[in-house]
Chains A and B, each alone.
Chain A
Amino acid sequence: MKVLALGIAVVCLVVAILYWIGMLQIGTSEPGPHIKHAAVFFVIGALSMMWFRFQSVRS
């Protein structure tokens, strides 16, 4: 679970950056940076880091 949490966190943070700088356009209607998409993935990434912390303390 720790590996899964860390993996999701890293992937989401990378996806957030790609949306932020406009390199990722999946699920968007127009080209350019997508702040809302980036914000959602950043939040999921941050939550996954918290999940990783919960798993670390438990083990």
Chain B
Amino acid sequence: MTFLQAMLLAVLQGVSELFPISSLGHTVLLPALLGWKIDRSDPTFLAFVVALHFGTALALVAFYRQDWIRIVRGLFASVVRGRIGDDPDARLGWLLVIGTLPLALAGVFLEKPVRQFFGSPALVAGFLILNACVMFAGERLRRVERGPGSKPPRPLALLSYASGAQIGFSQAFALLPGISRSGASIVAGLLFDLTHEDAARFSFLLATPAIAAASILEIPRLLVPEAHAVLLEALAGGLLAAITAYASVAFLTRYFRSNDLRPFGWYCLIFGTVCLTLALMKAIV
């Protein structure tokens, strides 16, 4: 992996982790399209990926720092007093805790087998098309439900714990490369009557503990002797991923105030179809 390739991968990670277009799918398809020979099981590459995830997690914490301070305070206060009560920050905190557990369990038990079986560019492209269909279907159902005489959107503060768990569970589908974590969780949020803005905010807050925990648990990969060979790439890539992730989340939180998922659905449909065609023609492997 050259320095330029590393920086392009860092930008790709920072952007695609939060845009509902599947970062994992793009990190499989783009190197295949560009003919990059990257060994994904190489310790130096794994160390580099950990640094990118660490940068992304730091960007999310920095962007939502005020929210996280309130949420952590609310969580601690609820544990001390022994009840959640009417504290909206504690309630949001417990929604995030409950929403994170399904992905954590699925991650430790299913991540390796799923990536072994579904890592080929053709399958990833197929899942990217499926990701587009999920977003289109979510928006379609949303428009049907939001027709004349429908009930008003549900504020995030009134989301039930069962709904929070189901939104969290939807993230587990993103273990399939090509299915977007944020796309799945935003669609699930929409189906539980959240606005696009609240669904996206909940999705990005849910992403923070998942990405941060995955990065922290993978830190030993940064400490192996082989990782020293990519120290510069890891540091620069982590920083670049952090900057692009921060810009992405800033853009998306504004975007979802008045827009929906359909443009991302069209992008995934077109890119997925092009990659699937190339893969079936054996032009990419």
Q: Which A residues lie at the B interface, using CB under 8 A?
A: 27, 29, 34-37, 39-40, 43-44, 47, 50, 53-54, 56-58
CA distance A43 to B213 in the complex (A): 11
Instruction: Tell which of A34, A40, A47, A53 touches B82, judged by Cβ atoms closer than 8 Å.
Output: A53
A36 near B217 (CB under 8 angstroms)? yes
Of all A-B residue pairs in the complex, the 6 with the closest CB atoms, nearest first, are A57-B82, A27-B109, A36-B108, A40-B104, A37-B108, A36-B217
Taking A27-B109, A34-B108, A36-B108 as given, write out 6 further A-B residue pairs in contact, using a Cβ cutoff of 8 Å, ordered by the A residue number: A29-B112, A35-B217, A37-B108, A40-B104, A47-B97, A57-B83
Name B's interface SS: helix
What is the CB-to-nearest-CB distance from B217 to chain A, in angstroms, rounded to a whole number? 5
What is the CB-to-nearest-CB distance from B99 to chain A, in angstroms, rounded to a whole number? 12
A40 touching B108 in the complex, CB below 8 Å, given contacts A35-B217, A47-B97, A54-B84 = yes
Name A's interface SS: helix
Across-interface contacts of B107 in A (CB, < 8 A)? 36, 40
Across-interface contacts of A50 in B (CB, < 8 A)? 79
Instruction: Tell which of A29, A36, A58 touches B83, judged by Cβ atoms closer than 8 Å.
Output: A58
Asked whether B32 is an interface residue with its Cβ less than 8 Å from the other chain, the reply is no
- On chain B, the number of residues with a Cβ less than 8 Å from chain A's Cβ atoms is 16
A56 near B82 (CB under 8 angstroms)? yes
Query: Which of B82, B84, B105, B108 has the largest number of chain A CB atoms within 10 A?
Result: B108
A57 touching B81 in the complex, CB below 8 Å, given contacts A29-B112, A36-B217 = yes
Across-interface contacts of B97 in A (CB, < 8 A)? 47
CA distance A6 to B6 in the complex (A): 48
Asked whether B133 is an interface residue with its Cβ less than 8 Å from the other chain, the reply is no
B82 near A44 (CB under 8 angstroms)? no
Instruction: Tell which of B79, B83, B112, B217 touches A39, judged by Cβ atoms closer than 8 Å.
Output: B217
Across-interface contacts of A39 in B (CB, < 8 A)? 213, 217
